[in-house]
């Protein structure tokens, strides 16, 4: 075989692709997502085409066998891609055949997404055998295109991928880009069609060309540019300062550029950055898996509401809670932070002896207890039961009340900057080292002189304090609290933010919040598929990049090490004595 990969592997990949395509159709993303991306191409069509392109791309990539890169010639690569596409098309054809055989209405009684519109998308508007053949040909063609890109040398391949991604992103993000360009006084009727609201073909092609060219030249000159910025420490410092200034300027003008709706989404992203940073202290730094983090979010939100003077929702109207103050938001925040830290100690104390999975289960319970308590009839006089609290006052400074989403963004930004600074300083100190040591080996950390009891409690308290800031801001942002806001989904999302970004990594948390909160918020088309998207993204990350998007150096070492330990174990099991002696840094049994 000179294909680099075996025929069997290619056929299997093709069949899997076909099944993925059918799945996407049945779930409904192909039929219902009818926003136009480029010209008359809808999001659904893009999603239906992606699997075939992807499989062609993967099949044509040079195979690495025993450390040696085996590069197939172009004909074979494209042939292999087309073969995979044929298999995918064949699988889809079987699906189309079943629908045709049983009749659309019969299938639809089970799979409600199967509609004539969907079939029209799949078969290009043709029926019966003709439509099926059209689909198969399309799959083969798409896979072949993917194959060409996959086979192409890096200097072509990477800019192509970048340019295509940018075009698709621009096509989806009209809601952000259009007002931003308008704010800057730029015309965009050449870029976006006024009728379809998607990119025009001219716009798409010019964006592709510009991105491709800039990516291409950046790759060609990257080392020279980097070398120039690193010539002396002074230039390096200047470049870093320039980057910081650019980031600061972008952060400062962002909400005005993108409009108030997107500014609100940015506010939510900021709240999850705070939750992520807090949870990152507990999970990423100290290694304590907390699945009940929503407890701190709720404590922050409800305490803020009570202390600033929110109203209770009752059947006859509004009433004051049985206890409430009318403090300023800025007086409230320190009290809330201390309260949340105290709750952290309370939650931490009973679970000091628990580790890993057991800790996760117990904290999961605590999160649920918190929600039930806040929304219970028992505390209805204080927290308003399931109807909750409403009319949470704003957080004014002078004339600015930060109710407006674009102003609120700056309030969130300020809190996020404080939390980032806190996390960064603590991680790089005696406290951070103690947490690290504890995460790596609790018993040894104790034996070296770290009080694991104290540092576990400290992690819970600090994590709770930072997370409660997110809750406080949430109360101000939405102005009303009820039991729908504090479900387990908050804990899971916060944890997903931390894991996606990379455990223990501060930039990772920021990126994770943008990906998991910002992107679904902006792409409102995907709103009903949000959880599907979360699942898919997390699975992809766990398989392709388990250390997270922007990993913490130390944490990624741990994962590599686990893999090495597994390899060593596998080697020992198969009786292979040559399995790299002494590579595993795992200590072994107790001393």
Partner 1 sequence: MNVLEVRGVSKHFGGLYALNGLDFVVERGEILSIIGPNGAGKSTVFNVITGLYAPDAGDVVFGGQSLVGLTPNQITKLGIARTFQTVHLFPNMTVLENAMVGQHCRSRTTVLGAVLRTRAMRREERSIREHAESALGFFGQRLAGYRQDQPAFSLSYANRRRLEMARALATEPSLLLLDEPTAGMNPRETLELRDHIVRMRDDLGLTILVIEHDMRVVKGVSDRVVACDYGQKIAEGSYEDVANDEHVIEAYLGTKAAG
> Do 388 and 242 form a contact (C-beta atoms < 8 A)?
no
Q: Of 133-152, which residues contact partner 1 (CB under 8 A)?
A: none
Binding part of the chain for partner 1, among 125-133, 383-391, 433-441, 541-549 by CB under 8 A, reads: 433-441
> From the CB of 448, what's the least distance to partner 1, in Å?
6
The number of C-alpha atoms within 13 Å of 204 and in the hemisphere containing its C-beta is: 19
SS (H, E, C) 381-392: HHHCCCCCEECC
Gap between the Cα atoms of 130 and 149, Å rounded: 29
Paired strand residues for 192: 199
Q: How far apart are CA 99 and CA 113, in angstroms?
A: 12
Kindly state whether residue 286 participates in binding partner 1, applying the rule CB under 8 A.
no
Per CB under 8 A, 345 contacts partner 1: no
Among 444, 478, 533, 550, binds partner 1 (CB under 8 A): 444
Asked if 389 is part of the footprint of partner 1 (rule: CB under 8 A), the reply reads no
Task: Based on the shown chain and the rule CB under 8 A, indicate whether residue 82 belongs to the binding site for partner 1.
Answer: no
DSSP annotation string for 48-80: HHHHHHHHHHHHHSPEEETTEEE---HHHHHHH
185 binds partner 1 (CB under 8 A): no
Q: Which two tokens stand for residue 499?
A: 């894991």
d(CA 6, CA 10): 7
589 counts as binding partner 1 under rule CB under 8 A: yes
Q: Least distance from C-beta 329 to partner 1, angstroms?
A: 22
Question: From the CB of 432, what's the least distance to partner 1, in Å?
Answer: 8
d(CA 467, CA 347): 14
d(CA 274, CA 44): 34
H or E element: which one contains 317? strand 317-319
Write the interaction track for partner 1 spanning residues 404-423; mark x where CB under 8 A is met and - where it is not: -----------------xx-
For 507-530, the DSSP string reads HHHHHHHIIIIIHHHH-GGGGGGH
Part in contact with partner 1 (CB under 8 A); list of ranges 127-135, 443-451, 486-494, 513-521:
443-451
Among residues 376 and 584, whose Cβ is nearest to partner 1? Answer: 584
Q: Cβ 580 to partner 1, closest distance in Å?
A: 13
> Judged by CB under 8 A, does residue 426 bind partner 1?
yes
Q: Which is nearer to partner 1, 179 or 287 (CB)?
A: 287
Answer for which of 88, 144, 289, 458 binds partner 1 (CB under 8 A) is: 458
- Determine which residue in the list 37, 462, 510, 523 makes contact with partner 1, applying CB under 8 A: 462
Tokens 């299938």, residue located: 107
Residues 528-567 that bind partner 1 (CB under 8 A): 554-555, 557-558, 561
582 binds partner 1 (CB under 8 A): yes
Residue 577 in contact with partner 1, rule: CB under 8 A: no
Which of 66, 449, 544, 578 binds partner 1 (CB under 8 A)? It is 449
364 CB neighbour count, 10 Å cutoff: 19
Residues with Cβ within 8 Å of 330's Cβ and at least 6 positions away in sequence, in order, are: 395, 397
The Cα–Cα gap between 414 and 418 comes to 6
Which one of residues 47, 141, 239, 431 is an interface residue with partner 1 (CB under 8 A)? 431
Nearest residue (CB) to partner 1, 174 versus 555:
555
Q: Does 591 participate in binding partner 1 (rule CB under 8 A)?
A: yes
**Site of tokens 């409904």:** 28
Pairwise CA distance, residues 37 & 198, whole Å: 5
**Residue number with CB closer to partner 1 (28 or 278):** 278
Contacting partner 1 (CB under 8 A), which of 202, 414, 447, 484? 447
Q: Which of 447, 422, 452 is nearest to 436 (CA)?
A: 452
Q: Which stretch binds partner 1 (CB under 8 A): 41-49, 61-69, 427-435, 538-546?
A: 427-435
* Tokens 């730094």, located at residue: 285
Answer yes or no whether residue 265 interacts with partner 1 by CB under 8 A: no
Asked if residue 469 lies in contact with residue 275, where contact means CB atoms within 8 angstroms, the answer is: no
Please identify which residue in 322, 443, 528, 566 interacts with partner 1, judged by CB under 8 A: 443
CA distance 571 to 576: 5
Q: For residue 44, what are its two tokens? A: 């659904």
How near is the Cβ of 413 to partner 1 at its closest, in Å?
Answer: 19
- Contact flag: residue 588 with partner 1 (CB under 8 A): yes
Interface pick for partner 1 out of 186, 224, 543, 590 (rule CB under 8 A): 590
Please work out the total of residues on this chain that contact partner 1, with binding judged by CB under 8 A: 41
Nearest to 548 by CA among 516, 502, 515: 502
Secondary structure (3-state) at 505: coil
- Answer for which of 49, 200, 452, 493 binds partner 1 (CB under 8 A) is 452
Tokens of 446: 């104790």
Q: Which residues bind partner 1 (CB under 8 A)?
A: 421-422, 425-426, 428-434, 436-437, 440-441, 443-453, 458, 462, 554-555, 557-558, 561, 582, 585-591
């Amino acid at each position: 075989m000179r294909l680099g990969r075996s025929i069997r592997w290619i056929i299997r990949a093709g069949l899997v692709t076909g099944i993925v395509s059918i799945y996407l159709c049945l779930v409904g993303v192909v039929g219902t997502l009818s926003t136009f991306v480029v010209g008359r191409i809808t999001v659904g069509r893009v999603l239906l085409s992606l699997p075939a392109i992807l499989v062609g791309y993967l099949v044509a990539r040079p195979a690495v066998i025993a450390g040696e890169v085996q590069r197939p010639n172009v004909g074979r690569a494209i042939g292999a891609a087309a073969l995979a596409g044929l298999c995918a098309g064949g699988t889809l054809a079987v699906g189309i055949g079943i629908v045709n055989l049983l009749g659309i209405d019969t299938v639809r009684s089970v799979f409600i997404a199967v509609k004539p519109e969907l079939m029209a998308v799949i078969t290009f508007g043709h029926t019966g055998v003709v439509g099926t053949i059209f689909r198969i040909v399309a799959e083969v063609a798409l896979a072949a295109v993917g194959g060409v890109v996959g086979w192409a040398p890096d200097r072509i391949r990477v800019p192509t991928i970048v340019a295509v991604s940018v075009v698709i992103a621009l096509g989806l993000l009209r809601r952000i880009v259009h007002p931003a360009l308008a704010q800057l006084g730029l015309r965009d009727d050449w870029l976006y069609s006024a009728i379809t609201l998607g990119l025009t073909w001219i716009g798409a092609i010019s964006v592709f060309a510009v991105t491709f060219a800039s990516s291409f030249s950046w790759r060609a000159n990257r080392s020279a540019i980097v070398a120039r910025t690193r010539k002396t420490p002074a230039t390096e410092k200047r470049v870093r300062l320039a980057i910081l200034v650019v980031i600061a300027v972008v952060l400062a003008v962002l909400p005005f550029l993108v409009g108030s709706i997107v500014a609100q989404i940015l506010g939510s992203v900021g709240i999850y950055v705070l939750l992520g940073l807090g949870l990152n202290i507990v999970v990423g730094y100290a290694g304590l898996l907390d699945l009940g983090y929503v407890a701190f979010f709720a404590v922050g939100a409800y305490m803020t509401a009570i202390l600033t003077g929110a109203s209770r929702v009752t059947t006859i109207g509004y009433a004051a809670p049985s206890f409430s103050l009318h403090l300023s938001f800025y007086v409230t925040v320190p009290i809330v932070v201390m309260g949340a830290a105290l709750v952290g100690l309370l939650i931490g104390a009973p679970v000091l002896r628990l580790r890993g999975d057991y800790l996760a289960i117990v904290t999961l319970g605590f999160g649920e207890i918190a929600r039930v308590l806040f929304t219970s009839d028992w505390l209805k006089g204080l927290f308003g039961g399931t109807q909750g609290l409403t009319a949470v006052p704003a957080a004014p400074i002078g004339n600015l009340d930060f109710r407006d989403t674009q102003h609120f963004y700056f309030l969130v930004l300020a809190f996020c900057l404080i939390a980032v600074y806190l996390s960064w300083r603590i991680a790089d100190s005696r406290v951070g080292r103690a947490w690290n040591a504890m995460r790596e080996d609790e018993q040894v950390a104790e034996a070296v002189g770290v009080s694991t009891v104290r540092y576990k409690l400290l992690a819970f308290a600090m994590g709770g304090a930072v997370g409660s800031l997110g809750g406080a801001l949430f109360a101000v942002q939405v102005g009303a609290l009820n039991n729908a806001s504090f479900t387990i989904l908050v804990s899971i999302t916060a944890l997903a933010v931390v894991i996606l970004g990379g455990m223990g990594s501060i930039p990772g948390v920021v990126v994770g919040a943008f990906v998991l909160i910002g992107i679904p918020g902006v792409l409102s088309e995907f709103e009903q598929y949000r959880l599907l998207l979360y699942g898919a993204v997390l699975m992809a990350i766990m398989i392709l990049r388990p250390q997270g998007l922007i990993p913490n150096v130390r944490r990624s070492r741990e994962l590599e090490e686990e893999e090495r330990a597994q390899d060593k174990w596998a080697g020992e099991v198969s009786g292979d004595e040559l399995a790299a002696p002494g590579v595993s840094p795992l200590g072994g049994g107790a001393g």
